[in-house]
Every structure is written in C-alpha cells, then in structure tokens.
C-alpha cells in the first residue's frame, strides 16, 4: 500500500470510527430513552436542553472572537504607542541638537563684538576679503535658514506624534472596554450553560453527550449524502501537512476560551497556532480568518484548509481529508476529530493560497 493510500485509509478509518461511535450513541440513546420516564408537563426535553446549551456555547464563541480580536488590536496599538514614544524621544534629541547649533552661532557673533557680519564686511578694505566674506555670509544665511526650517519641521513632527499617540490611546481604551464587555458576555454564557448541565443527573449527562453525537452524525451524514467527497480529492501542500501534524498532536487538550496553547486552545487559537508552526502567520480569530484569507470552494478543499462554521463565523476547524476535520469544540470538551459537515459550513479558506 503506497503512502497516499495509507493516508487515505487512515483518514477513512478515522471517519468510519467517528460514524460508528455516533451510531452506537444513537442506539444507546434510543434504549435509554425507552427506559427513561416521560418528562413532566411543561418541562424542557433533554433535546431542548441540549439545543439551549449549544446555543449558549455558540454565543460564547462569538464573544470569544470579539475578545480575541480586541486583544490582538490592543497589542498592535500598544506597539504603535511604543514606536511613537521612540519617535518623540528622537525628535526631542534633534531639537536639542539644533538649539545647540543655534546657540553656537549666537556665541560666535557675541565673540565678534556683536557686530553683524554684513557690517563687518562693509568695513573691510580688501576686495578679496570682501568677496570671500560675502560668500561666507551667503553660506551662513543659508545655514541659518536651513536650521530654522529643520527646527520647524521637527517641532511639527513632535506635534503630529502627540496627536497620533492620543488617537492610539483612545483606540486602546476603546478596545479595553470591548475586551471587558466580551469577557463578561463569555463568562455569563459559559456560566449559564454549565448551570444547565449541572442540574442534570449523571444518566441525563451521558444521554446529553449521546444527543450531541447524534446531531453531529445526522449533519455529517446529510453532508456526505450530497456526494461531496467524490469531488474532494486534493493532496495537502507541504506547509498544510505541517499544520495538520501540529493540530493532530494537540488531540485531547482542553478547550479554554482565549487560549492559544501550548496546554489548551480555543477554536481559532488551535488553527492559528497550527499554521504558525507551519511557518505561516494568519489572523487570530475565525472571523478575521474568514475576512482576510483566500476562499476556496468546498470541492477544492485540501488537508490544512480551514472550515469556517455558522453564519457569524464563530467557529473554525481544520480539514484533515476524507470528510474529517479537527477542532477545539467548546468549554468542557477537548481537541478532537469530527465530521467536516457536522456543523453548518459558511466558507473554506486557505492560509497558503
């Protein structure tokens, strides 16, 4: 069996295992559902609870993207402020040097008795001395004019630096507020979801996972039934292979919002770090990955490409081939394999296009 065949066999085996696990979950859930007592009138069904929890975590994912973007922008603004501060220091040093030059010229005039150069020249009795002096006066006047112009330019630069720094501070403060707002939203959504789960009995929690797997399996089956895999037959690029190797090496590590390794990840933290390991810097958030990276058709996607999910681009996974992807799902879950079509696909982007 060749390298390509072995790789596709392993991918197909992994996907088969995913589907088999989901099928077992469906069977177990069905048996459990038959044995479980009917819900009380007006009470939410376990499926409704699952959907509510999923929606809360998805909203937390959207807020996490906003938090990560604000954090990234804040870092860039802080770096810009530092650069402006360096420019201000350099400008102040330049002003000091120019003032020293101006002071030296004033002291030279004082030592000459305070008489202007033009008056001294007019009193000269030597024609050659007069001509030499006239040339020196012109040079001195030009030097003085250049000195004043340079001082004015430097002063103007310092004023612009001050305006730039003020604008960057305002943006930094705005992003700080956005971060705090997003963090509060994330914590509230996660707390609400965890509160819902905490009220479930052990058996219900197990069935909740089964329902989650069933929903993913149904979505994946529907996606595969379109015949999409018949169209997808592309090999990974060299950098794509490295990104896939990094991502798969993180299997089992927990999801933590805002994390980008090495011990935990959120969804875009995993994909951005995987591509950084492959030598390609990409945007930090799934929404920015969608906005800034080249898009490719689903039929053309290859291992290493990023699949952006949901209308608000709040989740991202990495395509592995054979209909499977790897992702950091949500709080309470670990980095894992899943069907590439197990969630609504918004777009596919290619970091190394």
Strand ranges in 21-156 using DSSP code E only, listed in sequence order: none
Which tokens go with 48? 């409704």
Q: Do residues 353 and 294 lie in contact, with contact meaning Cβ atoms separated by under 8 Å?
A: yes
Of the candidates 59, 52, 62, 67, the residue with the CA atom closest to the CA atom of residue 314: 62
Measured between alpha carbons, how far is 56 from 193 in angstroms, rounded to an integer? 6
Q: Do residues 237 and 226 lie in contact, with contact meaning Cβ atoms separated by under 8 Å?
A: no
Catalytic (active site) residue 327: yes
Measured between alpha carbons, how far is 178 from 353 in angstroms, rounded to an integer? 32
Catalytic (active site) residue 257: no
User: How far from 138 is each of 35, 146, 150, CA to CA, in Å?
Assistant: 105, 12, 18
Q: Which of 50, 284, 327, 330 is catalytic?
A: 327
Of the candidates 170, 187, 192, 195, the residue with the CA atom closest to the CA atom of residue 67: 187
Q: Which of 29, 247, 267, 298 is catalytic?
A: 267
Give backbone dihedrals phi and psi of 253, rounded to 5 degrees, phi first: -80, 145
Q: Which of 50, 183, 207, 315 is catalytic?
A: 315
Measured between alpha carbons, how far is 319 from 326 in angstroms, rounded to an integer? 7
Catalytic (active site) residue 286: no
Which tokens go with 172? 């930094």
Q: What is the DSSP letter of 296?
A: E
Contacts 24+ apart (CB under 8 A), 169-173: 169/81, 171/73, 171/77, 172/74, 172/77, 172/78, 172/81
Measured between alpha carbons, how far is 45 from 50 in angstroms, rounded to an integer? 9
Q: Do residues 189 and 63 lie in contact, with contact meaning Cβ atoms separated by under 8 Å?
A: yes
**Which residues have a catalytic role annotated?**
267, 315, 327
């Amino acid at each position: 069996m060749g390298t390509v065949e072995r790789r596709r066999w392993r991918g197909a085996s992994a996907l088969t295992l995913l589907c088999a696990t989901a099928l077992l979950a469906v069977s177990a859930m069905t048996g459990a559902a038959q044995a479980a007592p009917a819900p009380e009138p007006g009470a939410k069904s376990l499926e409704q609870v699952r959907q509510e929890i999923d929606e809360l975590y998805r909203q937390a994912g959207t807020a996490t993207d906003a938090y990560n973007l604000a954090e990234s922008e804040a870092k860039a603004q802080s770096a810009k402020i530092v650069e402006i501060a360096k420019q201000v220091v350099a400008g102040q040093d330049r002003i000091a040097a120019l003032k020293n030059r101006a002071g030296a010229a004033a002291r030279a005039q004082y030592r000459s008795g305070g008489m202007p150069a033009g008056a001294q020249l007019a009193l000269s009795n030597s024609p050659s001395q007069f001509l030499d002096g006239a040339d020196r006066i012109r040079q001195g006047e030009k030097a003085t004019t250049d000195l004043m112009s340079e001082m004015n330019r430097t002063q103007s630069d310092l004023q612009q630096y001050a305006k730039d720094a003020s604008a960057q501070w305002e943006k930094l403060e705005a992003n700080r507020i956005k971060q705090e707002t997003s963090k509060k939203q994330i914590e509230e959504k996660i707390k609400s979801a965890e509160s819902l789960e905490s009220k479930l009995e052990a058996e219900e929690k197990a069935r909740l996972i089964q329902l989650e797997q069933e929903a993913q399996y149904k979505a994946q089956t529907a996606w595969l039934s379109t015949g999409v895999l018949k169209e997808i037959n592309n090999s990974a690029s060299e950098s794509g292979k490295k990104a896939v190797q990094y991502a798969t090496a993180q299997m089992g590590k927990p999801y933590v919002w805002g994390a980008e390794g090495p011990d935990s990840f959120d969804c875009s933290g995993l994909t951005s770090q995987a591509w950084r390991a492959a030598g390609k810097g990409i945007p930090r958030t799934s929404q920015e990955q969608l906005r800034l990276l080249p898009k490719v058709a689903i039929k053309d996607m290859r291992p290493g490409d990023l699949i952006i999910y949901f209308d608000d681009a709040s989740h991202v996974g990495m395509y592995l081939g054979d209909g499977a992807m790897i992702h950091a799902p949500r709080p309470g879950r670990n980095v894992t394999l899943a069907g590439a079509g197990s969630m609504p696909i918004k777009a596919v982007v290619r970091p190394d296009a």
